[in-house]
Amino acid sequence: MSLELIANNKVHGGWHKRYSHKSTVNNCTMTFAIFLPPGVDETAKAPVLYWLSGLTCTDENFMQKAAAFKTAAELGIILVAPDTSPRGEGVADDPEGSYDFGLGAGFYVNATEEPYKQHYQMYDYICTELPALIDEHFPSNGKKAISGHSMGGHGALVIGLRNLGQYTSVSAFAPITNPLNCPWGEKAFSGYLGKDRESWKAYDSCELLSHTPADKCPPLLVSQGMSDNFLESQLRPERLVAAAEQADVSLCLEQHPGYDHSYFFISSFIDQHLRFHAQYLS
Ligand SMILES: CC(=O)Oc1ccc2c(C)cc(=O)oc2c1
């Protein structure tokens, strides 16, 4: 599969690059960004941290606002940030054009409902198509971890927990932990997956974690700002803690007083998350 380079910037001794490519699973052109730390090449390969962004974001928000490059360069970690949904002509959006469904809000699921199923196959895109592309075109050493924010934190937890053994570690900032039972999740899952709530369970991190064998669970780190406006209405980290207790799995939940839902919060703790992943990736 061929890639088209659309941006190229030297940063902290490494390279930030943006590419577009034809996605077979999403049936449209997709864009992603990658950071290549200094010194990586075919003879010195590096592990990859996949970053899943939240509602309204593209591949650009994390790269421009998270302040992750200096530490990723130091640790020798490749960062990959995909877009949050398919886009382009013919890609269905929310009929009301709202921010929490449709474009910029793919929720990292494989849609089964019309008219979304033609393009919204973000689960397969993140789990299969994108890693294959990264491994084909860049010097990745085959080890990967996953992280994300809010809707992307939900995506990271779900993908890490459904693919045990594939991601060395999983982390999330302010994740939507229980989309089965919160307004953002109920709206998105009804639209993408239909009325049968049983089919939603495969995309709910609380549901998945409560059934995860403790000896197979990847190391988990979750950071949550305590002044986050969405904490009680949408995020509910205490439900993830309860699921971890049910499965006897260890989950590190860090609660940070005063922090909100923004990239001010993410940029304050991204170094900690990178160092957490580096322990298992190296
Ligand atoms: C750039 C930025 O601030 O991103 C951002 C803002 C708000 C949200 C909300 C409300 C939810 C989410 O999933 O992601 C997200 C991302």
Residues 269, 174 contacting (CB under 8 angstroms): no
pLDDT bracket for residue 104 (50, 70, 90): very high
Task: Give pLDDT tens digits for 9-27.
Answer: 999 999 999 999 999 999 9
Q: Return the closest-CA partner of residue 203 out of 275, 280, 133, 126.
A: 126
Ligand 1 in contact with 199 (CB < 6 A)? no
CA of 152 to the centre of ligand 1 (A): 9
Residue 1's pLDDT is what? Answer: 78
182 pLDDT band, cuts 50/70/90, is very high
In this predicted structure, the answer to whether residue 170 has a pLDDT above a threshold of 90 is: yes
Pocket test for ligand 1, best of 51, 53, 56 (most atoms within 8 A of CB): 56
Q: Is the ipTM of this complex over 0.85?
A: yes
**pLDDT given at position 61:** 98
263 lines ligand 1 (CB under 6 A): yes
* Ligand 1 and 150: CB distance under 6 A: yes
Q: How many C-beta neighbours within 10 Å does residue 90 have?
A: 10
Query: Which among 150, 169, 171, 223 is annotated as catalytic?
Result: 150
* CB-ligand 1 contact for 173 (6 Å cutoff): no
**Looking at 164-265, which runs of residues are DSSP E strands?**
170-173, 220-225, 252-256
Where are the strands (E) in the chain, listed by range?
3-11, 14-23, 28-36, 46-52, 78-82, 140-148, 170-173, 220-225, 252-256
The question of whether 228 is a catalytic residue gets the answer yes
Q: What is the pLDDT of residue 225?
A: 99
Average pLDDT, the chain: 98
Q: Quick check: bond before 38 cis, omega within 30?
A: no
Are 73 and 10 in contact by the 8 Å Cβ rule? The answer is no
119-128 residue pLDDT tens: 999 999 999 9
Atom number of ligand 1 nearest to Cα 151: 13
Residue 263's pLDDT band, with cuts at 50, 70 and 90, is very high
Ligand 1 mutation target, pool 65, 149, 177, 184, most atoms within 8 A of CB: 149
Question: How remote is the CA of residue 2 from the centroid of ligand 1, in Å?
Answer: 31
- Report pTM: 0.98
**234-252: per-residue pLDDT in tens?**
999 999 999 999 999 999 9
